[in-house]
Amino acid sequence: MMKERIQELLAQVNEMQAQSADELEALRIKYLSKKGEITSLFSEFRNVAADEKKDLGQQLNMLKNTAQQKIEELRAQFEAAKELQDKQDLTRTPDPVVLGSRHPLSLIREEIIDIFSRIGFTVEEGPEVEDDKHVFGMLNFAPEHPARDMQDTFFIEKQEGVQSPDDILLRTHTSSVQTRVMTTQKPPIRVLCPGRVYRNEAISARAHCFFHQVEGLYIDKNVSFADLRQTLLYFAKEMFGPDTKIRLRPSYFPFTEPSAEMDISCNICGGVGCSFCKGTGWVEILGCGMVDPNVLESCGIDSKEYTGYAFGLGVERITNLKYRVKDLRLFSENDVRFLSQFESC
């Protein structure tokens, strides 16, 4: 009789299920409490004949162990489910969260800033709507200087009844930030001036009416052209790789003397010659030179005591070289197919 009862309870235990912690506790009480069915069988066991005790004792112990194990398994499931529920963010959207992307110009801008910050350059920013004095006047552009024709400028008409300086314009270069720094800070000055600039140009794959520059300025005692060259060589190797070579070609800018254009060995063909570098093996990336003494004096810096160098590069140009983007219009069209290639980590 006890043997059949054990087998019956064992079948019930194996099929035991619970939908909540309360149901599980009720099952534990039913089978394993002091008045539970399995405990009652142990009380009856003392009346079993001696020759049957060994076999029935083993079966009874197996029944108890099975019941305890089953209840522990169910309890563990409830605890795991509760822990998972506690970790869930019920305010989160059920849809997958798509990774955003960073604009390629932002990536290159930050990389340029990071490279120069390692050698002591700090970032300075200024207004995009400027006056003629800071954009041209203090940078050695005479009122009728032909160099003004090099940059077709957006001028802003003066509004009637509004107090504002004459000749307000959208800055054509971030050199205006340099003039503001030179008039408000004393040497030594070592700054980097990133920002957006504007020129009245026809929009095409190779030109736009607005673009981005990063300009650098270093003023101190005994600054030489050799210091400028080593700074730019360091930048080129950090940006394009340790095998990159540079060359400086004489050029002209109103605010530097001597002035130069800097080329790097083509990072696509390695300097051998390809369609990108037009078979020359070199690609122009920036303009530079020693700060003209007239610029220093106009900003209140003694040109007999201090010298300095300046350089300026287009962020779009560097981005073209780095990511092989051939059409400048892609940078401002916000085409998701283009931007998704620069997903953030």
Residue-wise DSSP of 143-164: TT-GGGGGS---EEPPPTT---
d(CA 341, CA 217): 34
pLDDT digits (tens, 9 = 90+) for 267-315: 777 777 877 778 888 989 999 999 999 999 999 999 999 999 999 999 9
pLDDT at 344: 57
Supply φ then ψ for residue 290, to 5 degrees: -85, 135
Topology, domain 106-342: BirA Bifunctional Protein; domain 2 (3.30.930)
Instruction: Say whether pLDDT at 345 is over 60.
Output: no
Closest residue by Cα to residue 135 from 306, 187, 143, 318: 143
- Those residues whose C-beta lies under 8 Å from the C-beta of residue 123, and which sit 6 or more positions away, are 113, 117, 191, 192, 193, 194
Instruction: Say whether pLDDT at 35 is over 90.
Output: no
pTM of the model as a whole: 0.69
145-146-151-152 Cα dihedral, nearest 10 degrees: 100
pLDDT digits (tens, 9 = 90+) for 174-215: 999 999 999 999 999 999 999 999 988 888 888 888 999 999
d(CA 40, CA 299): 102
d(CA 136, CA 176): 8
pLDDT digits (tens, 9 = 90+) for 127-148: 999 988 898 989 988 777 765 6
Average pLDDT for residues 97-124, to the nearest whole number?
90
Question: Where exactly are the structural domains of the chain?
Answer: 2-87, 106-342
Average pLDDT for residues 19-29, to the nearest whole number?
80
> Could you tell me the pLDDT band of residue 102, with boundaries at 50, 70 and 90?
confident
pLDDT at 62: 85
Highest mean pLDDT, choosing among 44-58, 261-275, 294-308, 311-325: 294-308
Average pLDDT, the chain: 85
Comparison of pLDDT for 100 and 322, the residue scoring more: 322
pLDDT at 160: 61
Cβ(81)–Cβ(49) below 8 Å: no
